[in-house]
Amino acid sequence: MRLRHRLLIVSSALLVLLAVFSLYLRPSFLITLADQLWSCF
């Protein structure tokens, strides 16, 4: 039970990281992110 729970947590974290890193491959996302960051200042 404990190993299965840990495996589920690690695999879900890996899935989230892959989703975030895939967004960085899209130039339009990077431009939007940079615009939102600069609008804070």
pLDDT digit string, tens, across residues 1-41: 699 999 999 999 999 999 988 988 888 988 998 999 999 88
* pLDDT of the residue at 33: 87
Task: Provide the domain limits for residue 31.
Answer: 2-39
* Contact assessment for residue 7 and residue 14, using Cβ atoms and an 8 Å cutoff: no
Q: Number of structural domains, the chain?
A: 1
Give 29's contacts (C-beta < 8 A, 6+ positions apart): 23
- Global pTM reads 0.59
